[in-house]
């Protein structure tokens, strides 16, 4: 066995003994990738019948959603962890999916007859493999990618990961005598209070360490994250420029980031920063300008889109936001009542607040909120105001894209069936993954119609309703089934509510579950 093979075996054993929770990430959705690439001037293949390869698929958290939502597509997913692949294969068998195959395989073992693929995805692989293998990942992508296809590659990057690297080294040092991974994680948690309160103000990294301590997961269910993000045998971040060098050596071309807004200085309020402008002006390429921006903001993670050198279109140097009108968008947020502002409206987006004073943007947000989780075309958003204010509309749409984490699709045809006009009900696959997770047989998170994980704590009654919605579909019939269960006390679905009147409460309860699932785009 070669040294590289030994390293791969060690990494595989790490994930076999401590599997990574497997999630869906919208940036890994071929439909999202296609939409993002379009803003850079690169057209990628339609996704309904696409062939997709995922390298480092874990248990299939990224691949399974695509298989469920795009039944005419074909997916091949590989990972070196036999235990994780087994979990994914169980779901494939349970759901009787015929359009996905999952294999315990290293990327270097990909057979030639698998190629070509329209999309190749490698989320969280590049940084977590031995340095000697990093060029091989790019070769595997190049080997598998069709001339017109696109690839997604995410990785930890410098300079931002420097601070995290010192945290990793502290955890490794403190757990140096531990042999078992669980004991290492327990020891790693012991340094968190030290980071919060024990770092001297003379330490130049003190603010960064305090911030990182607040970002570390504080529950045991997230132990897998500490184990693999900070305690893994290999974690080798790269500077953006070094990633580009690897890509070019493999005849791959950089398209842009999967989040096009984060490649723009204005996203960080740096568009008018004289010193950044001066440095970027000295750069000979857009790639070098991006490297300066990474230094300016301390970027620690990148989600890069690549294409083959044979692709007929060269990517733009920066995203063309005039193309936003050609895309479809959806957004989930909460409009808040806030009397502090006279004209501005405040919105809560995930864990932050955004104040919007532009009336055009406010109209756009109202329309998006009204249609969630179904999409609205960029052209419909653009045409909310009169044609005389087209420039204002374009600016408002661009600003909306900058400030809000929008879901997006290149076309109506790229939408999964569950987001198209005539669909109503639970999205395909959600009940299967929720049930498997509740049984303890899977660590694969459920997903929503926009390809994002949505782990929700479900009690027995909620899970019963979800399972019934998946088979019966008719909410009134589901309410009847729930009422009968409550009346007969057979396999009683437990809920925190007191059940005094099953006939009256069952329909209300079913509707409350549907409303909750609709909010998270799991029920359409």
Long-range contacts of 266-272 (CB under 8 A, 24+ apart): 266/402, 267/402, 268/293, 268/296, 268/297, 270/296, 270/297
The enclosing H or E element of 104 equals strand 100-104
Q: How many residues does the chain have?
A: 524
Q: Which of 261-265, 336-340, 354-358 has the highest mean pLDDT?
A: 261-265
56 and 124 within one domain: yes
Phi/psi at 18 (5° precision): -140, 75
Asked whether residue 316 is assigned to any structural domain, the reply reads no
Residue 417 within any structural domain of the chain: no
User: What pLDDT, on the 0 to 100 scale, is given for residue 137?
Assistant: 97
Give a yes or no: residue 398 inside a domain. Answer: yes
- pLDDT of 147 above 60: yes
Residues 286-311, mean pLDDT to the nearest whole number: 96
Domain encompassing residue 402: 328-409
**Is residue 121 domain-shared with residue 222, that is, in the same domain?**
no
Q: Is the model's pLDDT at 6 over the cut of 80?
A: no
What pLDDT is attached to residue 221? 59
| 297 close to 266: Cβ distance less than 8 angstroms | no
pLDDT at 349 over 90: no
For residue 41, the model assigns a pLDDT of 98
Q: How many structural domains are present in the chain? A: 4
CB count in 10 Å sphere of residue 305: 24
Tell me the C-alpha distance between 48 and 138, whole Å.
26
* Average pLDDT value for residue range 40-64: 97
Using a CB cutoff of 8 Å and minimum separation of 24, what contacts does 479-484 make?
A: 479/506, 479/507, 479/509, 479/510, 480/506, 482/506, 482/509, 482/510
Closest C-alpha to 374, from 338, 421, 442, 431: 421
Residues 268 and 367 in one domain: no
Confidence of residue 347 (pLDDT cuts 50, 70, 90): very high
In this structure, what CATH number is given to the domain that contains residue 65?
3.40.50.150
Res 229: pLDDT: 80
72 and 28 in one domain? yes
322 located within any domain:
no
| Residue 307 banded pLDDT, cuts 50, 70, 90 | very high
Structure tokens at 64: 């399974």
Tell me, yes or no, whether 214 and 363 share the same domain: no
Residue 225 forms part of a structural domain: yes
For the ranges 89-93, 188-192, 467-471, the lowest mean pLDDT is seen at 188-192
Of 263-272, 312-321, 387-396, least confident by mean pLDDT is 387-396
Tell me: the pLDDT tens digits for 497-517?
Answer: 677 788 888 999 999 999 999
Instruction: Tell me, yes or no, whether 133 and 275 share the same domain.
Output: yes
Tokens of 511: 């509707």
Is residue 144 scored above 60 in pLDDT? yes
Work out the mean pLDDT of the chain and round it to a whole number.
90
The domain boundary, picked from 409, 439, 454, lies at 409
249 shares a domain with 108: yes
98-107, 162-171, 475-484, 515-524: lowest mean pLDDT where? 162-171
Same domain membership, residue 438 and residue 395: no
Q: Check whether residue 251 and residue 272 sit in a common domain.
A: yes
**Does residue 270 lie within any of the structural domains?**
yes
15 and 37 both lie in a single domain:
yes
Query: At which of 213, 231, 249 does a domain end?
Result: 231
In a domain, 421, yes or no: no
**522 Cβ partners below 8 Å, 6+ apart?**
426, 427, 430, 446, 448, 449, 454
Asked whether residue 217 is assigned to any structural domain, the reply reads: yes
Question: Does residue 387 sit in the same domain as residue 439?
Answer: no
Is the bond into 373 cis (omega within 30 degrees of 0)? Answer: yes
State whether 435 and 302 are in the same domain: no
Query: Does 330 score more than 80 pLDDT?
Result: yes
């Amino acid at each position: 066995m070669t040294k590289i093979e030994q390293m791969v075996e060690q990494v595989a054993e790490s994930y076999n003994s401590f599997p990574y929770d497997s999630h869906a990430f919208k940036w890994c959705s071929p439909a999202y990738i296609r939409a993002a690439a379009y803003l850079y001037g690169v057209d990628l293949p339609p996704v309904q019948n696409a062939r997709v390869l995922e390298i480092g698929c874990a248990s299939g958290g990224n691949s399974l959603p695509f298989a469920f939502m795009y039944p005419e597509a074909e997916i091949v997913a590989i990972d070196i962890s036999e235990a994780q692949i087994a979990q994914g294969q169980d779901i494939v068998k349970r759901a009787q999916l015929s359009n996905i195959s999952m294999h315990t395989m290293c990327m270097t073992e990909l057979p030639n007859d698998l190629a070509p693929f329209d999309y190749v995805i490698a989320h969280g692989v590049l940084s977590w493999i031995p340095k000697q293998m990093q060029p091989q990942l790019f070769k595997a992508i190049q080997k598998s990618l069709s001339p017109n296809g696109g690839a997604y590659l995410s990785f930890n990057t410098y300079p931002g990961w420097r601070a995290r690297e010192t945290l990793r080294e502290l955890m490794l040092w403190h757990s140096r005598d531990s042999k078992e991974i669980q004991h290492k994680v327990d020891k790693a948690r012991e340094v968190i209070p030290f980071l919060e309160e024990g770092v001297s103000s003379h330490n130049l990294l003190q603010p960064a360490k305090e911030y990182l301590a607040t970002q570390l997961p504080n529950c045991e269910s997230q132990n897998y994250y500490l184990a693999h993000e900070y305690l893994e045998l290999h974690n080798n971040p790269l500077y953006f420029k070094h990633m580009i060098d690897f890509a070019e050596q493999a005849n791959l071309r950089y398209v842009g980031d999967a989040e096009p807004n984060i490649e723009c200085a204005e996203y960080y309020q740096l568009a008018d920063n004289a010193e950044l402008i001066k440095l970027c002006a000295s750069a000979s390429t857009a790639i070098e300008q991006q490297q300066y921006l990474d230094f300016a903001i301390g970027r620690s993670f990148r989600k890069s889109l690549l294409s083959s050198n044979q692709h007929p279109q060269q990517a733009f140097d920066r995203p063309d936001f005039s193309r936003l009108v050609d895309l479809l968008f959806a957004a989930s947020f909460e409009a808040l009542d806030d009397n502090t502002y006279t004209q501005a409206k405040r919105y809560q987006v995930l864990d932050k607040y955004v104040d919007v004073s532009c009336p055009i943007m406010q109209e756009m947000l109202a329309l998006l909120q009204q249609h969630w989780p179904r999409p609205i075309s960029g052209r419909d958003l653009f045409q909310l105001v009169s044609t005389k204010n087209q420039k204002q509309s374009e600016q408002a749409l661009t600003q909306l894209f900058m400030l809000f984490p929008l879901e997006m699709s290149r076309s109506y045809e790229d939408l999964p069936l569950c987001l198209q006009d005539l669909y109503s009900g639970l999205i395909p696959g959600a009940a299967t993954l929720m049930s498997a997770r509740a049984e303890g047989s899977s660590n694969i998170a459920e997903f929503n119609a926009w390809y994002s994980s949505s782990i929700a704590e479900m009690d027995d009654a909620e899970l019963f309703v979800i399972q019934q919605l998946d088979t019966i579909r008719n909410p009134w019939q589901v309410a009847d089934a729930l009422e009968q269960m409550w009346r007969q006390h057979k396999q009683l679905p437990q809920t925190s509510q007191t059940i005094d009147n099953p006939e009256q409460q069952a329909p209300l309860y079913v509707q409350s579950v549907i409303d909750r699932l609709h909010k998270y785009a799991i029920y359409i």
